[in-house]
Amino acid sequence: MFHLTTVPAIAANAACVLLLATQAPAQQAPSTAIRLPEPRRQGAMSLEAALWARHSVRAFTRDSVSLADVGQLLWAAQGVNRPDGHRTAPSAGATYALEVYLVAERVRELPAGLYRYRPANHEIERTAAGARLPDLLGAARQAWIGDAAAALVITAVFERTARRYGERAQRYVPIEVGLAAENVYLQAAALGLGTTFVGSYTDTTLARVLGLPPEEQPMALLPIGRPR
């Protein structure tokens, strides 16, 4: 049996519970994902013309690049091009060992920072704020990289392919990197931009700049800019 003195307290507690139950749920923190402009399927330059124009560029102007062009380059590297989720660059058994990061320095409509590409939704997620191109320069030690407006970094998780193909992953994954990088080269040429495949860098330094987990390895660095 309750004492009469406890009845008001019980009533107050019940009212409090009822109030909480009728309140709107707490709002979640806003997503850090940034939707990219829809990738274009047609352009002013034919594939044949892009093949003629493709060459390694190591001298850039200080001009910025657009978010739409950056999105197009990311899509060319690892974007989805079919309803079943398959991508622009082939992958052994569709195991998709690759990840692509954007280092944005002078990208219009995008703050400087480090971003991870999410192919399924054609979006990027910021993983670090502020200028990161000087850190890439420190990892690769090639001065011309510092003039780029942005850079793509291709990394690989070999285990994704090794689970299916065992030791053959050591062959298949680097092939996949080359295919994705060539897509970037051709797309850059079609956009009037330039790039170069950089493979000379200190792995541990670049992995630290990107904040990579131990199972993910940097495989290629592709600075992006307008040719000088």
- 75: CATH: 3.40.109.10
Tell me, yes or no, whether 2 lies in a domain: no
Q: Domain of residue 38: give its range.
A: 33-225
Is 203 within the bounds of a domain? yes
Domain-located, residue 12: no
CA distance 177 to 154: 7
- Per the DSSP assignment, residues forming a β-bridge with 218 are 155
Mean pLDDT by 10 residues, the chain (228 residues): 41 41 38 90 95 96 97 98 97 98 97 97 96 92 94 98 98 98 98 97 96 97 97
In a domain, 18, yes or no: no
In a domain, 148, yes or no: yes
pLDDT number for residue 25: 38
Query: What's the pLDDT score for residue 32?
Result: 79
Please state the pTM of the whole predicted model: 0.85
Report the C-alpha gap between 7 and 146 in whole angstroms: 73
Domains of the chain: total: 1
Within 10 A of 55 (CB to CB), how many other CB atoms are there? Answer: 11
d(CA 96, CA 179): 12
Task: Answer whether residue 119 is part of any domain.
Answer: yes
Q: What is the predicted pLDDT for the residue at 31?
A: 54
Give a yes or no: residue 42 inside a domain.
yes
- Whether residue 10 lies inside any domain: the answer is no
The whole-angstrom separation of Cα 46 and Cα 177 is 23
